[in-house]
């Protein structure tokens, strides 16, 4: 029987590439999106035309009710959830002194409460099955801190603490909880950077290139596979050597 994955924020960027990679590896998919309906539905149709069972589902991860409806929909369609990837996220580059209460709240609500909402909603089904895998997308800035991204770094560090604590609590239920902390990955999230910034980031990366969404998808495939059954509570950082 095919495994089932929920990938949050799968309409674009890293989440979209992960959805494609998991579909190619035999997963049924729930493609979560919030604003990018067209992109999510187009991806879903592409996968359906290849015989893959996938649904696009709109839910704002920061809204618990919407998340619970999404998870119930997934259970009704697929009966079980083998994998949750908490990928949905927003970024903002801003001086600490300019961060408003609204900026701060939005960052916490989407990037951190979103992870809590989705995980708590899914985990009860995994516990009753006594198996499951959860992958939380953090960032190198959650490991080492990023200037002009204090609120982003805070939530991404929070995701690492969440991952470690939950891994301890859910280990006895045979549920592995891990985090991927990507380096600089070429997606829409970098669109605020100019060519010079991107060249400098490349120069600061020992492997001399920026990462791709595929670099992260490959890492997620490994963590979701049986080969990673003894790995839990860990942070893996595909970053080209940017942070060592
Ligand atoms: P992206 O291309 O901007 O995609 C972000 C995704 O998150 C979109 O699919 C978006 O969906 C979704 N999203 C945003 N707010 C949402 C909400 N409230 N509810 C549901 N979905 C929501 O960015 P990306 O680079 O792929 O980022 C994916 C993850 O990787 C994020 O957690 C990010 O922090 C992390 N990351 C990225 C980098 C990088 O360099 N790119 C580095 C480290 C970590 P809609 O458009 O449908 O709203």
Does residue 132 line the site of ligand 1, with CB under 6 A?
A: no
Q: How many other C-beta atoms lie within 10 A of the C-beta of residue 188?
A: 10
The contacts found for 168-175 with CB under 8 angstroms, 24 or more apart, are 168/233, 170/123, 170/126, 170/127, 170/134, 171/232, 171/233, 173/126, 173/127, 173/130, 173/132, 174/130, 174/131, 174/132, 175/123, 175/126, 175/127, 175/131, 175/132, 175/133, 175/134
> Which pair of tokens denotes residue 59?
């839910």
Helical residues (DSSP H) of 79-212, grouped into ranges: 101-108, 114-129, 140-144, 150-170, 195-203
Q: Are 207 and 241 in contact (CB under 8 A)?
A: yes
Report the atom number in ligand 1 closest to the C-alpha of 141.
Answer: 43
28 in helix, strand or coil?
A: strand
Q: Separation of 65 CA from ligand 1 center, angstroms?
A: 20
Q: Are 90 and 191 in contact (CB under 8 A)?
A: no
Does residue 137 line the site of ligand 1, with CB under 6 A?
A: yes
Q: Separation of 9 CA from ligand 1 center, angstroms?
A: 6
- pLDDT of res. 1: 81
- pLDDT of res. 19: 98
Give the percent of the chain with pLDDT over 70: 100
Band the pLDDT of 199: cuts 50, 70, 90: very high
Q: How many other C-beta atoms lie within 10 A of the C-beta of residue 2?
A: 14
Average pLDDT, the chain: 98
Does residue 188 line the site of ligand 1, with CB under 6 A?
A: yes
Q: What are the pLDDT digits (tens) for 137-160?
A: 999 999 999 999 999 999 999 999
Examine the pLDDT at 126 and tell me if it is beyond 90. yes
Whole-angstrom CA distances from 10 to 29, 86, 225 are 10, 10, 19
Give the percent of the chain with pLDDT over 90: 99
Q: What are the pLDDT digits (tens) for 216-234?
A: 999 999 999 999 999 999 9
Phi, psi for residue 11 in degrees, rounded to 5: -75, -25
- pLDDT of res. 229: 98
Does residue 133 line the site of ligand 1, with CB under 6 A?
A: no
pLDDT (mean) for 96-123: 98
Q: Which residues are catalytic?
A: 152
Examine the pLDDT at 237 and tell me if it is beyond 90. yes
Q: What are the pLDDT digits (tens) for 179-196?
A: 999 999 999 999 999 999
Whose CA is closest to atom 38 on ligand 1? Answer: 185
Identify the helix (H) or strand (E) that includes residue 223: helix 213-224
Does residue 189 line the site of ligand 1, with CB under 6 A?
A: yes
Measured over all CA atoms, what is the biggest interatomic distance in the chain, rounded to whole angstroms? 52
- Burial-class residue 214 by CB neighbours within 10 Å (0-12, 13-18, 19+): middle
Top pLDDT among 31 and 1 is at 31
- pLDDT of res. 216: 98
Residue of 7, 8, 9, 243 best suited for mutating to test ligand 1, as the one with most atoms within 8 Å of CB: 9
* HSE of 207, CA atoms in CB hemisphere, 13 A: 14
């Amino acid at each position: 029987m095919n495994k089932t994955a929920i990938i949050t924020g799968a309409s674009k960027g890293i989440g979209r590439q992960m959805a494609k990679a998991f579909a190619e590896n035999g997963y049924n998919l729930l493609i979560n999106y919030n604003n990018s309906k067209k992109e999510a539905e187009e991806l879903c149709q592409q996968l359906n035309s290849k015989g893959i069972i996938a649904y696009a589902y709109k839910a704002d991860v920061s809204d618990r009710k919407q998340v619970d409806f999404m998870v119930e929909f997934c259970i009704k369609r697929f009966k079980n959830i083998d994998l949750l990837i908490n990928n949905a996220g927003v970024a903002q580059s801003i001086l600490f002194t300019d961060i408003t209460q609204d900026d701060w709240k939005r960052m916490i609500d989407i990037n951190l409460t979103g992870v809590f909402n989705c995980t708590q909603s899914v985990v009860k089904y995994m516990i009753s099955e006594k198996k499951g895998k959860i992958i939380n997308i953090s960032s190198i800035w959650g490991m080492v801190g990023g200037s002009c991204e204090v609120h982003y770094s805070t939530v991404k560090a929070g995701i690492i603490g969440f991952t470690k604590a939950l891994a301890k609590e859910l280990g006895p239920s045979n549920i592995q909880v891990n985090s991927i902390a990507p380096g600089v990955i070429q997606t829409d999230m970098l669109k605020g950077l100019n060519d010079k910034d991107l060249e400098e980031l490349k120069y600061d990366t020992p492997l001399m290139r920026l990462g791709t969404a595929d670099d992260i998808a490959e890492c997620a495939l490994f963590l979701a596979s049986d080969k990673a059954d003894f790995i839990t509570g860990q942070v893996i950082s595909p970053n080209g050597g940017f942070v060592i």
